[in-house]
Chain A
Amino acid sequence: MLKISKLHKSYPIGDSSLHVLKGIDLSVESGEMVAIMGSSGSGKSTLLNIIGMLDEADEGEYILDNVPIKNLTEKKAAIYRNKFLGFIFQSFNLINYKNALDNVALPLYYQGLKRKERIEKGLFHLEKVGLKDWAEHLPNELSGGQKQRVAIARALAANPKLLLADEPTGALDTKTSHEIMDFIQTLNDEGKTILMVTHEEDIASMCKRIVRLKDGVIMEDAFVEQVRASQYV
């Protein structure tokens, strides 16, 4: 599904540069649910962004679904992002002037689907996250948990191969966090590959595998017993 080898990334800071990722090797199989952990500055978000093609690596190899991701033109990257990846952000990143349905249907717009089809699919995914009745509401009329569910529906809408979540519960309270995690686990149960960045141990323990980063290298990579979020809900 996903194979990364010898990945390097540094950011220029003034005259010097900050070496964030120092040779990452990681492969993820289809159907996995992986948590990437690490303290702030460990490079976990950078890694996720490179995987998400939101950022580019300086060095190393990255193969996604047998497609080498290298020297992409903007247009190509846009097509790949749309086809392969679904994003879930800590701050939801919904477009605030679009209602829930339009937000969910946006990736479908960039896939070139007809409006009717977009609405149909959008509603289907909204229903899946339990927000069909909120389709016409604007993001600022929704609670944090609802916003994240809309964001998840949006990430699912284009039927991506890989779901990338950057601290998906970072802006939510414990109860809502567990609800969202429960939902993400259900998606994984249905076969979706999920990669998430988190710094919370209890959230990480709800994944099936934990990759620990420190100072730009992988310290530990272990499969764990998955804690089901449903027991807290």
Chain B
Amino acid sequence: MFDRDLWREIFQSINMNKTRTLLSGFTVAFAILLFALLFGITNGLLNTFDTAFVDDAKNSIFINSGRTSKASNGLQAGRQIQFENADQEWIKKEFGDKVQYITSRIYLNVTASFRNEKNNYSIRAVNPDHQYLENTKVNYGRYINESDIKNKTKVVVIGRLVEEDLFLKTTAIGKYLNLNGIQYKVVGVFSDDGGDNEERLIYMPVSTAQQIYGNNDHIDQINLTYNPDMNFDAAIGFSNMLTRKLKERFLVSQNDQRAIRVRNLANESKAVDQMTFILGILVLVIGFGTLIAGIVGISNIMIFIVKERTKEIGIRKALGAAPKSIVLIILLESILITIIAGFVGLLLGMGILELVGPSLEKYFIKDPSVSLNLVIGATITLIIAGGLAGYVPAKKASRIKPIVALRDD
């Protein structure tokens, strides 16, 4: 294959027929560019959908309480329902292994200060399971653990941005953070894909918060994840059952929509899954569509090139070119152009995605990117298609009687 003279012929032909080269190169580069861009943008949309829900585990159920809106069991409407530690224990006991993780939550707002730095933050007082519910990633140190809960230790796990805000460039681990006048030891720093707000939170043991800020065992919210082995219907059945039993436990009317509210993410994640599925199909359609457009384009150009070179083929044959060398010279030229142009399109596409990607976030396109393998695959497909599309007319042209090829000028 590597015949220096053959390649010299090819490079001469490429060099001296710039319009033709640019035309076919442009088609291929454009097809690959479009392929990369469209794929990237759709991927960006998918990412947006994914991250919108990565904040919480997909099998989460949130339980909130409020005031009753209906009288029931001889109790008047307007009664405040308040969860306590016992309620969390009861759920665990009642539903057993249907519950994967469970945690309480208490919300507080504090002013936190370290040395001269000072700022207001939200606090979530939680159980250790909360880490899995919230998909919290511990960067340094550790999360709240069972012994913190038992001993009501004054420790906090702070968000990455809290550390940045208050501890500036130093590490926060082991230092004492002042929350409304009480010193808490920082035992961990976390990050969260849910965004900046999630990383400006402070976690502390729920028992510590109960003792210090209320001296009771009240809970604002109970979050749990159901056993992920459950399918969609079982998950919905589980949360309906949970709702009913909680309403019985608190003597709330089953028709009361406000006193106890159970939100099952399965409902939402099903919609997301469907959307993701549709987007996935869209990606496929777009990808194939662009590729087919590219294939048609390169095929047309190959036919045009062979037509344009018919006379040259006639001359070469009259001078003693074998049919094989005619096919080879046309095919190698087109393959070379396709490879180079495909590579240009690939670089352009990925470069553009890289450059404009960040500014697209406000259009719900996050991290638009496309895998290198995919684009290379698309380029190879185009090369093969261009080769095939070129081979047929080249083969035909190589069989033309030289006299026919030379006739029309």
A residues whose Cβ falls under 8 Å from a Cβ of B? 49, 52, 54-56, 74-75, 78-79, 81-83, 87, 89, 91, 93-95, 97-98, 102, 106-107, 109-111, 115, 154, 158
Contact = CB atoms under 8 A, between A and B. Distances in A.
Interface string B301-333: 000000000011011111111111100000000
Given A93-B406, A106-B316, A98 B322 contact: no
Interface stretch (B97-105, B149-157, B236-244, B395-403): B395-403
Contact of B12 (A91, A93, A94, A102): A102
Contacts of B320: 78-79, 81-83, 107, 110-111, 158
A154 B5 contact: no
- Choose among B316, B318, B324 the residue with the greatest number of A CB atoms under 10 Å from its CB: B318
Contact of A110 (B13, B321, B403): B321
A49 B404 CA distance: 10
Contacts of B9: 109
Given A79-B322, A95-B315, A115-B5, 8 more contacts: A75-B323, A75-B324, A81-B319, A83-B320, A93-B315, A95-B316, A98-B12, A158-B320
B16 interface: yes
Interface string B386-402: 00000000000011011
Contact of A49 (B17, B398, B403): B403
Interface string B187-212: 00000000000000000000000000
A107 B319 CA distance: 5
A56 B62 CA distance: 88
B117 interface: no
Contacts of B314: 93
B328 to A, nearest CB: 13
Contacts of A97: 12-13, 16-17
Contacts of B8: 115
Contact of B399 (A74, A82, A93): A74
- Choose among A54, A91, A106 the residue with the greatest number of B CB atoms under 10 Å from its CB: A54
24 contacts: A54-B402, A74-B399, A75-B322, A78-B317, A78-B322, A81-B318, A81-B319, A81-B320, A82-B319, A87-B318, A89-B406, A95-B312, A95-B315, A97-B12, A97-B13, A98-B12, A98-B16, A106-B316, A107-B319, A107-B320, A110-B316, A110-B320, A110-B322, A115-B8
B233 interface: no
Nearest to A84: B320
A87 B8 CA distance: 24
B6 to A, nearest CB: 9
Contacts of A75: 322-324
Interface string B335-376: 000000000000000000000000000000000000000000
A55 B403 contact: yes
B229 interface: no
Contact of B323 (A74, A82, A109): A74
Contacts of B5: 109, 115
Contacts of B311: 93
B324 to A, nearest CB: 7
Contacts of A55: 401, 403
Contacts of A54: 318, 401-403, 406
Contacts of B17: 97
Interface string B1-38: 00011001100110011000000000000000000000
Nearest to B9: A109
Nearest to A110: B320
Interface in B267-314: 311-312, 314
Given A54-B402, A93-B406, A106 B319 contact: yes
B319 A91 contact: no
A75 B323 CA distance: 7
Contacts of A158: 319-320
Contacts of A109: 5, 9
B330 to A, nearest CB: 14
A109 B5 CA distance: 8
A154 B13 contact: no
A102 B401 CA distance: 24
A91 B311 CA distance: 12
- Choose among A106, A111, A154 the residue with the greatest number of B CB atoms under 10 Å from its CB: A106
Nearest to B16: A97
A109 B312 CA distance: 15
A151 to B, nearest CB: 10
Contacts of A81: 317-320
Give the 4 A-B residue pairs with the shortest CB-CB distance, closest first. Answer: A82-B320, A97-B16, A110-B320, A54-B403
A81 B319 CA distance: 7
Nearest to A94: B315
A206 to B, nearest CB: 24
A91 B409 contact: yes
Contacts of A111: 320
A1 B363 CA distance: 81
Nearest to B319: A107
- Choose among A49, A78, A98, A158 the residue with the greatest number of B CB atoms under 10 Å from its CB: A78
Contact of A78 (B12, B13, B312, B321): B321
A94 B312 CA distance: 8
Nearest to B321: A110
B318 A52 contact: yes
A97 B316 CA distance: 13
Nearest to A52: B318
Contacts of B406: 54, 89, 93
Contacts of B4: 115
A54 B319 CA distance: 10
Contacts of A52: 318
Contacts of B13: 97
Contacts of B399: 74
A215 B12 CA distance: 45
